[in-house]
Structure 1
Amino acid sequence: MGRTLYLECSSGISGDMTVAALLDLGVDRKILEKSLSSLHIRGFQTEITRVKKSGLDACDFRVILDEEHENYDHDMEYLHGYHKISEDHHHHGSHHHHQHRGILEIRKIILESQMTDRAKETAITVFEILASAEAKAHGVSREEVHFHEVGAVDSIVDIAAVAVCLDELDITDVIVTKLYEGTGTVRCQHGVIPVPVPAVVNIVQEKGLSLQITDVEGELVTPTGAAIAAAVQTSDHLPEKLAIEKIGIGAGKRQYACPGILRAMLLREKRKEKKIQILEQDRIWKLETNVDDCTGEELGNVMRLLFEAGAKDVYYTPVYMKKNRPAYELSVICEENQIPFMEDIIFEETTTIGIRRNCMNRTILKREISSLCIDGFQARIKICTLPNGQTRCYPEYDSVTAFAEKNHISYREAWEKIRDYWKKER
């Protein structure tokens, strides 16, 4: 049924920290090494050791690059400009500019590796999130982006390693409550930029992550770390009661005024009585506004943007307004931390001048996202548990349409085949 992972990002998050924390949870190193060796890139080797961070024993994952591929991601003097950078250092950085890869080349590297399909999907998702964030920062298309941090060999290895580790641990749910970030500036190949860096800000904005700015001087959240969190997060809050099965601690390389670790925990929710297990309580927000002077095309676009921003639901209700004018009431269901993003979209994309807010408690069935293999096809399904203990399977829309297209059958036939297969195999 998969496992639940909690990433505690109180000292930020980066690619190497995430790999180390997951390795510390018990990933088979030989499996990781085999997958990484299948990547069609050269100039690196990996090293896994134990280090002390703030007196704590932690796992350290290091990508060691040869001279041709070396970069300065962990060089504190370079990153924060404590000393003047030498001409050789500048020329070296210029030389590496030609080693950067775009999203199409990186996708090819991942797809041609011996990683599992699930690991490949995770890695590509991380890279696509990064591509969108970098494209927005530089004002170019995703295909034109040539990553600086991300396209470097060590970052490709970090992201691939994270995907392999998550797959080996069979992680299906990931809780990331908040990313703690520092302040100040950091040096990159374009010059000195503010922290949080633009790519991180773009990811946080687009994916609705929670960001907590601290008074630590430095970059705690790297673009790679933010993209990993955005790609794998399935929840932003912890269950009320939980049991910790295992703890992994990953060490960061940069030295800041904080522990510099990422703590990963495998969780198991503590069970109460059966009905309390199944019927869960949570709180959601409903945003409403009436619109009578927008076209159908505009309203359709607003709905698309709201769903892409992470809304739980968006719908329109026909209403009559002043002077019997026909109009639509736009309703958006979302989490409290998503309200600013949703309201920005509504104000920017419609003619409304006011939005109503309602906080509502709701009762929901216990549900989980799983997958099953049917005729060689991986289908994602949602499994809900009723108060009487019975379970229902709801195949996910994208999986149904893909299965229908592959087998040249109707959507209804594909939906029923997937559900019937689940009934037979459970």
Structure 2
Amino acid sequence: MSDLYLECNYGISGDMVVAALLDAGADRAALEKALASIPAKGFKTEIKRVEKNGVSCLDFNVILDSEHENHDHDMNYLFGHEHAEHNHDGFHNGENHGYCHEHCEHSHEHHHGEHGEQVHYEQVHHHEHRNLHDVLEIIDKTEMTENARKLAHKIFEIIAKAESKAHSKPVEEVHFHEVGAIDSIVDVIALSVCFDSLYVEKVFVPFLCEGSGTVRCQHGILPVPVPAVANIVQDFSIPLKIIGECGEFVTPTGAAFVATVATDFSLPKDFVLKKIGMGAGKRDYGVPNIVRAMLIETAEKINSENQLTSALHDKIVKLETNIDDSTGEALGFVMEELFESGALDVQYLPCFMKKNRPAWLLVVLCKVEDAAKMEKIIFTHTTTIGIRKAQMERTCLVRSAVSVEVFGESADVKVVDVYGEKRFYPEYESVSRIARKIKKPFGEVYNKIVSECACTE
């Protein structure tokens, strides 16, 4: 399993990263299957090689029909800010479909254009409006792994919160226009499927490079970085560099993707490049509009693999407490909270306390750095007044994840290396979903997945 280094020296957008990940080896078949299942109309996709400043790159293009088209790649429109003569309705000629890339819009509000004229944007366009629930519903009906679906949800939730903050509106009241447009939904789904198929462990993004000046959008003329991008990099402490070029180099989708997947904002001291993907942007600047996705392996990881061992060693903390006066509902809630906060394992074991009282022994295994967080959850949501704690050493077998196709369906599988021998453990969610869909026994589906994994080795 490799790590991912995203080089964003000249900005980042959703379609650029999709192309870069595909060029670096993401599963194109899984992507095409997901795209074909999106329950929305008005688009098609194209993947081809192009040249950017003399460099061969991959281009992922979402092509909209005339009803859904916008000015996302019209440089004169986005950054020229020239206004045509007013027509009889008081609108600018040629402006009816022009907005900044992926920026949200609240219907029935009035805003002022560059020269102060009032424009009612509900009349200015005929594009679809979607709130966060609408967008997530489209994602939920698209065929992809559960990990990819969670990633897509997270990206849109981050954008929604950033737009909510920018416009002082509750998240549920934010109605997306550009972000809710089908091209942005396709970009996020494609991003999530491609990233999930690479099975990377860590994601290094040293910084994002942004331009300067202003950009024309739904709300008029906005400064670069646009408010949604500024809010995301602020909320997630993403390092930002302003380069000496005029224009919008970082889109909300690009920033939200980094906020979702980045694990480190500094590169490891030594690493080996395993594969390089070049993703092309659509806009033409004076600098290469390119994102590079590099699969890397650190020297530490390579040395570890060369030791020919199938075991990893680390330290964990074991927390335990006896509880005899909390309800079953409360204990179930505590387990959910502990797992949600990163617990490695949570158990309830029946026991007897003083005066022969039936009780439960709560046992929590967690990372050393998470122990205080787990203790707070236990004290907050149970009746216990004391927790026992012990630090322990742990030996774990090396594991990875793969996806295989059985009965025409994709299944996620955990692969464990037992001193050179690989064992396959299909994920329960995949087995149960397939068994229900094709009406076959759980065991038959499970064994078929294991057999398919063994054949592909």
Question: Which position in structure 1 is the counterpart of 2:422?
Answer: 391
Q: Distance in 1 between matches of 2:118 and 2:63?
A: 18
What CA distance in whole angstroms lies between the structure 2 residues aligned with 1:96 and 1:342? 50
> Which residue in 1 is equivalent to 2:336?
304
Q: Structure 1 residues 306 and 400 mapped into 2: Cα distance closer, same or farther (>3 Å)?
A: same
Q: Matched residues in 2 for 1:84 and 1:63: separation?
A: 29
Aligned residues: 397
8 Å Cα contact 1:279-1:365 kept in structure 2: yes
SS of the residue 1:372 aligns to: strand
Say whether the 8 Å CA contact 1:298–1:349 is kept in structure 2: yes
**Kept in 1: contact 2:43–2:62 (CA 8 A):** no
Find the residue that maps to 1:99 and give its secondary structure: coil
Which residue matches 1:328?
361
Q: Which residue of 2 aligns with 1:206?
A: none
CA–CA distance in structure 1, aligned partners of residues 60 and 456 of structure 2:
39
CA RMSD across the alignment: 5.9
CA–CA separation in structure 2 for the residues paired with 1:214 and 1:322: 56
CA deviation after TM superposition for structure 1 residue 365, in Å: 1.3
Secondary structure, counterpart of 1:419 in structure 2? helix
* Alpha carbons 1:248, 1:263 under 8 Å: kept: yes
Contact 2:49 2:57 survives alignment (8 Å): no
**Offset at residue 354 of structure 1 (A):** 7.6
Provide the C-alpha distance between the structure 1 equivalents of 2:26 and 2:441, rounded to a whole number of angstroms. 41
* Seq. identity, %: 38
**CA 49–263 in structure 1, closer or farther in 2 if over 3 Å, else same:** same
| 2:188 alignment partner, SS class | helix
Pairing 1:102-113 to 2, within 5 Å after superposition:
102=131, 103-104=133-134, 108=138
Structure 1 residue 129, shift from structure 2 partner: 2.7
Q: How much does 1:390 deviate?
A: 2.0
* Length-normalised TM-score, structure 2: 0.59
Instruction: Give the TM-score, by structure 1 length.
Output: 0.63
* Pair 1:86–1:171, CA change in 2 (3 A): farther
Q: Which residue of 2 aligns with 1:286?
A: 317
Counterparts in 2 of 1:163 and 1:44: CA distance versus 1, 3 Å: same
Q: How does 1:205-354 map to 2 (within 5 A)?
A: 211-214=236-239, 216=241, 224-225=253-254, 228=257, 243-250=272-279, 262-267=291-296, 276-283=307-314, 285-286=316-317, 288=319, 290=321, 292=323, 293-317=325-349, 326=359, 328-334=361-367, 336=369, 345-346=377-378, 349-350=381-382
In structure 2, the partner of 1:204 is: none
Q: Which residue number in structure 2 is paired with residue 19 of structure 1?
A: 18
2: distance between equivalents of 1:302 and 1:174? Answer: 28
Q: Does 1:8 align with 2:36?
A: no
Contact 1:131 1:145 survives alignment (8 Å): no
Give the Cα–Cα distance (whole angstroms) in 2 for the partners of residues 344 and 399 of structure 1. 34
CA distance in 2: counterparts of 1:417 and 1:32, whole angstroms: 24
**Which string of whole-angstrom CA distances, capped at 9 and with x for unpartnered residues, describes residues 72-115 of structure 1?**
79968998xxx984556964587459523355567559968xxx
Greater shift, 152-161 or 10-19, is seen at: 10-19
Q: Deviations over 1:382-421 (max 9, x none)?
A: 121212x222221211122224334555544543443345
Measure the CA separation in 2 of the matches of 1:221 and 1:351: 49
The corresponding residue for 2:70 is: 70
Q: Secondary structure at the match of 2:317?
A: strand
- Please give the alpha-carbon distance, in whole angstroms, between the structure 2 residues aligned to 1:57 and 1:330: 55
Deviations 1:262-300 (CA, angstroms, capped at 9, x unpaired): 441134687669883442435354363636353221121
Query: Residues 147-185 of structure 1, C-alpha deviation per residue, up to 9 Å, x if partnerless?
Result: 345312441242244357559xx62335325685799xx
Question: How has the CA–CA distance of structure 1 residues 62 and 294 changed in structure 2, closer, same or farther, with 3 Å as cutoff?
Answer: same
In structure 2, give the amino acid aligned to 1:8. Answer: L
Larger radius of gyration: 2
Provide the secondary structure at the position in 2 that maps to 1:150. coil
Question: Which shifted more, 97-106 or 213-222?
Answer: 213-222
**Residues 19, 394 of structure 1: alpha-carbon distance in 2 compared, 3 angstrom cutoff:** closer
Look up the match of 1:207.
none
Counterpart pick for 2:191 among 146, 157, 162: 162
